[in-house]
Structure 1
Amino acid sequence: MSAHVSATPQPVPGDAARWITPLEIGVLGAIWGASFLFMRVAAPEFGPAALVELRLALGAIVLLPFLWRARAAFPMRLWPKLALIGAINSAVPFLLFAWAAERAPAGVGAICNALTVLFTALVGAMFFSERIGWARSATLAVGFAGVVVLASGRIEGAAIGPAVLAGAAAALLYGIGINLVRRHLGGLPATAVAPVTLGCAALLVLPFAIAQWPAQPVSLQAWGSVALLGVLCTGAAFVMYYRLIARIGAGRASTVTYLVPVFGVTWAWWLLGETPTLRMAIAGALILGSVALSQRLPK
Structure 2
Amino acid sequence: MTQVDKALAGAAAGAAPRQWLAEFVLLGAIWGSSFLFMRIATVEFGVIATAAVRVMVATLCLLPLVFLRGVGAQFARHWKTACVLGLLNSAIPFACFSFALLSITTGLSAILNATVPLFGALVAWAWLGERPTGSRMLGLAIGFAGVALLAWDQASFKPGANGIAPAWAVLACLVATLCYAVAASATKRYLAGVPAMVTAAGSQLGAALGLALPALWFWPARLPGTSAWLAVIALGVACTGVAYVLYFRLIEHAGPSRALAVTFLVPVFAVCYGALFLAEAITARMVLCGAIVLGGTALSTGWVKLGRRR
Which residue in 1 is equivalent to 2:14?
none
How far apart, CA to CA, are the structure 2 residues paired with 1:58 and 1:160?
30
TM-score norm. by structure 2 comes to: 0.82
Counterpart of 1:8 in 2: which secondary structure? Answer: helix
How far apart, CA to CA, are the structure 1 residues paired with 2:250 and 2:117?
18
Bigger shift: residues 83-92 or 128-137: 128-137
How far apart, CA to CA, are the structure 1 residues paired with 2:99 and 2:169?
7
Backbone CA RMSD of aligned residues: 2.8
Q: What's the CA shift for 1:9?
A: 6.9
Which residue in 2 is equivalent to 1:160?
166
How far apart, CA to CA, are the structure 2 residues paired with 1:10 and 1:142?
29
Q: What's the CA shift for 1:284?
A: 0.9
How far apart, CA to CA, are the structure 2 residues paired with 1:204 and 1:269?
34
How far apart, CA to CA, are the structure 1 residues paired with 2:296 and 2:267?
14
Which residue in 1 is equivalent to 2:25?
26
How far apart, CA to CA, are the structure 1 residues paired with 2:88 and 2:118?
17
Q: Which amino acid aligns with 1:91?
A: A
| Conservation of the 8 A alpha-carbon contact between 1:139 and 1:294 | yes
Which residue in 2 is equivalent to 1:14?
none
- Structure 2: where are the runs of 5+ without partners? 1-6, 12-16, 306-310
TM-score norm. by structure 1 comes to: 0.85
Q: What's the CA shift for 1:84?
A: 2.1
Structure 1 pair 44/26, CA: closer, same or farther in 2 (3 Å)? same
How far apart, CA to CA, are the structure 1 residues paired with 2:275 and 2:148?
23
Structure 1 pair 24/193, CA: closer, same or farther in 2 (3 Å)? closer
Deviations 1:62-115 (A, max 9, x none): 222342221212446x54433321111111111111111112111122111111
Structure 1 pair 177/240, CA: closer, same or farther in 2 (3 Å)? closer
| Conservation of the 8 A alpha-carbon contact between 1:150 and 1:164 | no
Which residue in 1 is equivalent to 2:3?
none
Q: Does 1:98 align with 2:104?
A: no
Q: What's the CA shift for 1:224?
A: 1.0
Q: What's the CA shift for 1:160?
A: 2.4
Which residue in 1 is equivalent to 2:74?
73
Q: Which amino acid aligns with 1:204?
A: G
How far apart, CA to CA, are the structure 1 residues paired with 2:195 and 2:63?
13
Runs of 4+ aligned residues of structure 1 deviating over 6 Å after TM superposition are: 243-246
Which residue in 1 is equivalent to 2:275?
269
User: Residue 223 of structure 1: which of 225, 229, 232 is its match?
Assistant: 229
- Identity score, percent: 41
How far apart, CA to CA, are the structure 2 residues paired with 1:130 and 1:240?
23
Bigger shift: residues 25-34 or 49-58: 25-34
Counterpart of 2:301 in 1: which secondary structure? Answer: helix
How far apart, CA to CA, are the structure 2 residues paired with 1:243 and 1:144?
28
Deviations 1:169-188 (A, max 9, x none): 10111000011110011131
Q: Does 1:53 align with 2:52?
A: yes
Counterpart of 1:208 in 2: which secondary structure? Answer: helix
Q: What's the CA shift for 1:120?
A: 0.9
How far apart, CA to CA, are the structure 2 residues paired with 1:119 and 1:84?
20
Deviations 1:35-73 (A, max 9, x none): 001111111211111101111011122222342221212
Q: What's the CA shift for 1:26?
A: 3.2
Which residue in 2 is equivalent to 1:143?
143
| Conservation of the 8 A alpha-carbon contact between 2:42 and 2:98 | yes
Bigger shift: residues 253-262 or 283-292: 253-262
How far apart, CA to CA, are the structure 2 residues paired with 1:244 and 1:126?
22
Which residue in 2 is equivalent to 1:236?
242
Q: Which amino acid aligns with 1:94?
A: F
How far apart, CA to CA, are the structure 2 residues paired with 1:223 and 1:70?
31
- Structure 1: where are the runs of 5+ without partners? 1-6, 12-16
Q: What's the CA shift for 1:253?
A: 6.1
How far apart, CA to CA, are the structure 2 residues paired with 1:184 and 1:72?
17
Structure 1 pair 10/224, CA: closer, same or farther in 2 (3 Å)? farther
